[in-house]
Structure 1
Amino acid sequence: MTQPMPGVPNWVDLGTSDLGDAIRFYTQLFGWEAEISGEEYGGYTTFYLDGRATAGAGPLFGEGQQTAWSTYIATDDADSVALRVEAAGGKVLVPPFDVMYQGRMAAFLDQSGAPFSVWQSGTMKGADVFDLPGALTWNELITRDVEGSAAFYGEVFGWVARESNAGDYIVWEHRGQTIAGLQPMDHAWPHDLPPHWMISFAVIDCDDSAGYAQSLGGRLVTPPVDLPIGRYSMIQDPQGGMFSILQAG
């Protein structure tokens, strides 16, 4: 990953049905420290890795919402992004709004229905650390509409889709830097699984971390497996939130 700049993923957070248990699970798994905000922020929790902001978590507010991680993409103008999203065939779920003095955000669906958000920084710029063990290291869109998604994110953020050396996997570049991935959903994926953004946290030892996640109440969706970029496992937290861990190769 790269450090946050407009058009690059810069934050992830978890909406969860049990914030207290999520704090227990993730602080133990990744060695994070949790700072819980006051009532004006609804108990939103910021996780820190060695004193540096790395991710967030908060309770679910909408009826019927499922526990899930969200990807935020940095922008210097959330309102302009909202206009481009609609013009490109996406949908504005939550129009841009100010989060006190910390920044401005909005939430969207892309043209295939995958949710994502943007963050326009104020006093809070996003994550302070990437790629180290316990920190965000990769974001990838998993979708059946590869061509449509390549066009959508190109129009909204100026991303360029490139073929990779890993089969049909696609990487997105922005201003000459690789910043995210696109995984096509073929027949092997459950037919009722909706398109979504998956996030990966870096770990020192994928097998040890996967086993530890299980001991904390998580479930291995994909047991540790070797990929061209390293050793990888997909995990479901105790409330059903999906994320991945990656040991760099």
Structure 2
Amino acid sequence: MRITETSPGAPCWFEHSSADPRAAERYYGELFGWTGEADPRPEAMGYSVMHLDGAPVAGVVGLVAEGQPTAWSVSLAAEDVDAAAEAAQAAGGQLLAGPTEALDLGRFAVVADPAGAVFGIWHGRRLPGVARFAEPGAPGWIELATRDVAGAVGFYHGLFGWSVSPGEQYTQWGLDGTDFGGVLDMGEQFPADLPPYWMPYFAAADVDLAAERGVRLGGDAVLPPTDVPDGPRLAVLKDPLGAVFGLYQV
């Protein structure tokens, strides 16, 4: 699916942060066929926009703060980043960075929800956001793992107006009649010291082949390819740098 305009509240950008951005570019380039375009400006600190068939789908950047983990991050679109950041704080969230300008690319803030899961708020200018979504090699789903599902549902619905489709084991979120994400209850299968987190899923024509390729390139299978009841076939991998991400069958 090609995206020409991002709806407020929708997932709009995905960013990989690690101590070795060039290694991340190589890994995901071989895994998904992405090509990187580094911003040559010194103030961009080597930021690269990754493209799928010429369309931007993700960013790769080095670690910028002490103690920052290697991880994928998810950003949600807002017409007014400052107002959205204020609303998030009023609803119990914590402002971690910004709001600030990202050169001429856009304006952003980084927020933790009341349970501690970190996400970005983005208003794009020269970089509106992803231009491909839910097709092989592109992001297509976001998932929140949290120990407070009810609190998360209330927080994000109030902040972004997401629709809520509850299920017995999994609650899905959407906008304008289209679901784009879900919330997973962190039960006993999660380590007690693991904080809540957001994770992107990338679409694959064949999850088994994509997972096998990801492991062959140096990643680890956190969850081998699995059929989900009433859902797609999926897998969860950890890349060679330590960032966790999901794959799902288109």
Q: TM-score, normalised by structure 2?
A: 0.95
Of stretches 171-180 and 122-131 in structure 1, the one that deviates more from structure 2 is 171-180
Q: Does 1:101 align with 2:88?
A: no
Taking a change above 3 Å as real, the CA distance of residues 2 and 162 of structure 1, as seen in their structure-2 partners, is farther
- Aligned AA for 1:18? D
1:218 & 1:75 partners in 2: Cα distance? 33
Match of 2:8 among 6, 9, 14: 6
Task: State the 1:198 CA deviation.
Answer: 1.1
Counterpart residue number, 1:65? 68
Counterpart residue number, 1:232? 234
Instruction: Tell me which stretches of 4 or more aligned residues in structure 1 moved more than 4 Å.
Output: none
Counterpart residue number, 2:156? 153
Structure 1: gaps (5+ residues): none
Task: State the 1:103 CA deviation.
Answer: 0.9
1:154 & 1:239 partners in 2: Cα distance? 33
Asked if 2 retains the 8 angstrom alpha-carbon contact of 1:131 and 1:202, the reply is: yes
Q: Does 1:112 align with 2:115?
A: yes
Structure 2: gaps (5+ residues): none
Q: Does 1:209 align with 2:210?
A: yes
Task: State the 1:16 CA deviation.
Answer: 0.8
Taking a change above 3 Å as real, the CA distance of residues 179 and 204 of structure 1, as seen in their structure-2 partners, is closer
Matches within 5 A, 1:79-94: 79-94=82-97
Q: How many residues align?
A: 246
Q: Residue by residue, what CA displacement relative to the aligned partner does 1:80-118 show, whole Å, maximum 9, x if unpaired?
A: 011101110000001211112221111000000000001
Asked if 2 retains the 8 angstrom alpha-carbon contact of 1:84 and 1:155, the reply is: no
Match of 1:56 among 56, 59, 68: 59
Task: State the 1:2 CA deviation.
Answer: 9.3
Give the secondary-structure state (helix, strand or coil) at the position aligned to 1:240.
Answer: coil
Match of 1:141 among 144, 152, 161: 144
Asked if 2 retains the 8 angstrom alpha-carbon contact of 1:224 and 1:232, the reply is: yes
- Identity across the alignment (%): 39
Task: State the 1:231 CA deviation.
Answer: 1.3
Asked if 2 retains the 8 angstrom alpha-carbon contact of 1:17 and 1:66, the reply is: no
Task: State the 1:178 CA deviation.
Answer: 1.9
Match of 2:45 among 35, 42, 47: 42
Give the secondary-structure state (helix, strand or coil) at the position aligned to 1:86.
Answer: helix
- Aligned AA for 2:165? R
Counterpart residue number, 1:198? 199
1:169 & 1:194 partners in 2: Cα distance? 19
- Aligned AA for 1:51? G
Task: State the 1:49 CA deviation.
Answer: 0.4
1:103 & 1:34 partners in 2: Cα distance? 19
Q: Residue by residue, what CA displacement relative to the aligned partner does 1:180-234 show, whole Å, maximum 9, x if unpaired?
A: 2111111122111110011100111111111111111100000111113221110
Taking a change above 3 Å as real, the CA distance of residues 2 and 77 of structure 1, as seen in their structure-2 partners, is farther
